[in-house]
Amino acid sequence: MTTKTQKVVELEDVVVRFAGDSGDGMQLTGSLFSDAAAIAGNDFATFPDYPSEIRAPQGTIAGVSGFQIHFGHKEIYTPGDTADVLFAMNPAPLKKNLMWVKPGGTIIVDTDTFTDKSLTKAEYTSNPLEDGSLKEYNVIKAPISTLTKKSVEDLGLDNKMILKSRNMFALGIMFFLFNRKFKTADEFFEQKFKSDPLLIESNKKILRAGYNFAETIEALNSITYIVEPAELKKGKYRNITGNVATAWGLLAAAERSGRQLFLGSYPITPASEILQELSKHKSLGAKVLQAEDEIAGIVSAIGASFAGSFAVTSTSGPGLSLKCEAIGLAVMTELPIVIVDVQRAGPSTGMPTKSEQSDLLQALFGRNGEAQVIVIAASSSSNCFYYAYEAAKLAMEHMTPVILLTDGCLANGSEVFRIPKVSELPSIKPPIVKANDTDYRPYKRDPEKLSRSWAIPGTLGLRHRIGGLEKENIFGNVSHDPENHQLMCEYRAEKVRRVANYIKPQDVIGPESGDLLVVSWGSTYGVMIEAVKEMQEQGKKVSLAHFHNINPLPKNTAEIFSKYKKIIVPELNLGQFVLYLRMYFQQFKFEQYNKIQGLPFMVKELVDKFNHLLDEK
């Protein structure tokens, strides 16, 4: 790497967006840049944004794939509203993403792709590099395709193969601009292409060609930037996606509980990575079944739970719909199981790669009969680990299904994650019955939790019957007695309500009373806290209550609501959580703010909405 003598400017935080065709490798480029940010000690959050087609039409706006990363010296909560730097590989991503670039921001383009044909495909009537429409931005014009080919012309590769690596030229430019090292990218090449040394060499050469090009042009080399490491708690860190964090949390729960992990799932976007990640960890005792359909996935998990395993199934909204009858079976049999729902835009197939808080009502009520389950929601890519762990703990200790809600933003996004020691995590103590326990009855309940015991098949003296038919209280025989049915329904519902005695009280960020309380849940946490903090810095009496425990709600929920003049519930749906709150807290007036575009909230739009609400008399 060349020694630089240019002026280096220190930045608190930066937002970078890579954008190109679906086949241009923007997700990989963003991931490698994120890895470099992690090695540099920055805090960060990412937002992968790509079409659902396997290969969308090349050069069209519909086929644009993007990856945004917000990294900094300070604590980072969101991928950022708008980008400081946009890297556009052809006209279509420039057209689609220009609205997300800050005024005065830097735009780097591959001029080789701005042909008449590509401009027409991108619905331009004139060349934006020549017509003055980009005069408000710092535009860097680079013949990336030409320079990429030139950098490896001595290796004998064909043009098609070479141009697949244009993204590494782009990455090299960004490494120069932000003073990043090659180490993480080089290690990736060596692992990915270990069977083909020529590809390792070509990618390394192209990466360095991009870096050296940036160093030689005045528009880039006069100033480079550095973002100092964030002040992170001492420990071992890594870059992690929400799906991988979820898988790791489940593995940790299996280890801590002493139960073998079983995952029965069917692949579905955007949840498949959980299945893929757990399949790598057979050495940790994980058993993974890729079932033929969603129903087979969950019923295999119920069977594994009956046999004494810590059972999990993973899915997204359409799959959750298919699993609903079997979730009712798990409620009736009172067996522990975790259902991970990685939400996406619906209904039906909807927009599979776009995120939405779409399934809350389905998670709460989507079953026949009185079939209450515990529902919790993660709020960041990294804390998917901890909420997967909590879901496991609640399921096994309370002998009931738990639905864990994440979504596409959390699942595919990544953050810095401090790897905890399993011994530091809360204990998990399943109520497993010992052999020949003369006091055992299948539906005899813990007097505090109302949970029944977990009798593992094959254990001496514990033969019992379970199934989908209603059971006699205590003894577990099939029963059609009307009064017994009401009693058992009440027990199952009360068991879930009593979980409120074992979860933390709801906390509030900001003053404990004031003019406005923002109430949110799930993946909107980052943008909510940034918006609320911005308003607090302006002297506004605004606070945030972000919910992770949905059913049951924390016991102090009504007390919190009573201390604010106005309450607003912003959601990435048409108002599911606010409808739920209105059911239980009719004494309060809830305003709502909804967005359902497959896009996250922006800090600015929230601040504008909250200020408007405060100004209303």
Looking at the predicted structure, is the pLDDT value of residue 182 above 90?
yes
CA atoms within 13 A on the CB side of 37: 34
| Domain at 237-424, CATH homologous superfamily | Thiamin diphosphate (ThDP)-binding fold, Pyr/PP domains (3.40.50.970)
- In 315-367, where does DSSP find H-type helix? 317-333, 360-365
Give 477-531 as a DSSP string.
-B---HHHHHHHHHHHHHHHHGGGGGSPPPP-BS-SSEEEEEEEEGGGHHHHHHH
Confidence of residue 222 (pLDDT cuts 50, 70, 90): low
Hey, what are 270's tokens? 């955007």
Q: Where are the domains of the chain?
A: 7-226, 237-424, 514-615
The confidence score (pLDDT) of residue 221 equals 62
Hey, what are 552's tokens? 């049951």
The confidence score (pLDDT) of residue 305 equals 98
The confidence score (pLDDT) of residue 118 equals 96
Asked if 385 contacts 546 with a C-beta cutoff of 8 angstroms, the reply is no
Closest among 27, 204, 45 to 524, alpha carbons compared: 45
Tell me if domain 237-424 and domain 514-615 are identical in fold.
yes
Confidence of residue 331 (pLDDT cuts 50, 70, 90): very high
| Residues 555-596: tens digit of each pLDDT | 999 999 999 999 999 999 999 999 999 999 999 999 999 999
Asked if 406 contacts 363 with a C-beta cutoff of 8 angstroms, the reply is no
CA 587, CA 596: separation in Å to the nearest integer?
Answer: 28
Looking at the predicted structure, is the pLDDT value of residue 3 above 60?
no
Asked if 245 contacts 382 with a C-beta cutoff of 8 angstroms, the reply is yes
The confidence score (pLDDT) of residue 5 equals 54
Hey, what are 200's tokens? 């390792």
| Furthest C-alpha separation in the chain | 86
Asked if 401 contacts 327 with a C-beta cutoff of 8 angstroms, the reply is yes
Residues 6+ apart with CB under 8 A from 430: 257, 258, 259, 336, 396, 397, 454
| Residues 443-483: tens digit of each pLDDT | 999 999 999 999 999 999 999 988 999 999 999 999 999 99
Among the residue ranges 136-140, 160-164, 174-178, 336-340, the one predicted with the least confidence is: 160-164
The confidence score (pLDDT) of residue 2 equals 47
CA atoms within 13 A on the CB side of 522: 30
Virtual torsion, Cα 19, 21, 24, 29, nearest 10 deg:
20
Residue with more model confidence, 161 or 272: 272
H or E segment to which residue 384 belongs: helix 384-398
DSSP classification of residue 353: T
> Could you give the percent of the chain with pLDDT greater than 90?
91
The confidence score (pLDDT) of residue 7 equals 74
The angle at the Cα of 353, spanning 347 to 356, to the nearest 5 degrees, equals 50
Which residues sit opposite 72 in a β-bridge?
A: 13, 43
Mean pLDDT score, 532-539: 96
> Could you give the percent of the chain with pLDDT greater than 70?
98
Sign (positive or negative) of CA dihedral 471, 476, 481, 486 = negative
- Three-state DSSP state, 457: coil
Hey, what are 266's tokens? 């069917």
CA 480, CA 94: separation in Å to the nearest integer?
Answer: 66
Return the residue matching tokens 């591959």.
110
Hey, what are 430's tokens? 């399943």
The confidence score (pLDDT) of residue 8 equals 83
Asked if 64 contacts 52 with a C-beta cutoff of 8 angstroms, the reply is no
Return the residue matching tokens 């708690």.
233
The confidence score (pLDDT) of residue 1 equals 47
CA 337, CA 531: separation in Å to the nearest integer?
Answer: 36
Asked if 584 contacts 553 with a C-beta cutoff of 8 angstroms, the reply is yes
| Residues 15-41: tens digit of each pLDDT | 999 999 988 999 999 999 999 999 999
CA 79, CA 70: separation in Å to the nearest integer?
Answer: 5
Which residues sit opposite 376 in a β-bridge?
A: 404, 549
Q: Which residues of 295-326 are buried (b: 16+ CB within 10 A; e: fewer)?
A: bbbbbbbbebbbebbbbbbbbbbbbbbbbbeb
Which residues sit opposite 45 in a β-bridge?
A: 70, 415
Asked if 91 contacts 113 with a C-beta cutoff of 8 angstroms, the reply is yes
Whole-number average pLDDT of the chain: 95
- Three-state DSSP state, 112: helix
Asked if 336 contacts 454 with a C-beta cutoff of 8 angstroms, the reply is yes
DSSP classification of residue 207: H
- The type of residue at 612 is H
H or E segment to which residue 82 belongs: none
The secondary structure of the chain in percent helix, strand, coil, rounded to multiples of 5, reads 40, 20, 35
CA 26, CA 168: separation in Å to the nearest integer?
Answer: 10
State the burial class of residue 246 (Cβ atoms within 10 Å of its Cβ: 0-12, 13-18, 19+): buried
Mean pLDDT score, 101-119: 95
Asked if 310 contacts 262 with a C-beta cutoff of 8 angstroms, the reply is yes
CA 261, CA 301: separation in Å to the nearest integer?
Answer: 10
Q: Which fold has domain 514-615?
A: Rossmann fold (3.40.50)
Residue with more model confidence, 57 or 383: 383
Q: Which fold has domain 7-226?
A: Pyruvate-ferredoxin Oxidoreductase; domain 3 (3.40.920)
The confidence score (pLDDT) of residue 176 equals 94
- The type of residue at 533 is K
The angle at the Cα of 163, spanning 224 to 62, to the nearest 5 degrees, equals 85
The confidence score (pLDDT) of residue 224 equals 83
CA 580, CA 577: separation in Å to the nearest integer?
Answer: 5
Virtual torsion, Cα 191, 197, 203, 209, nearest 10 deg:
130
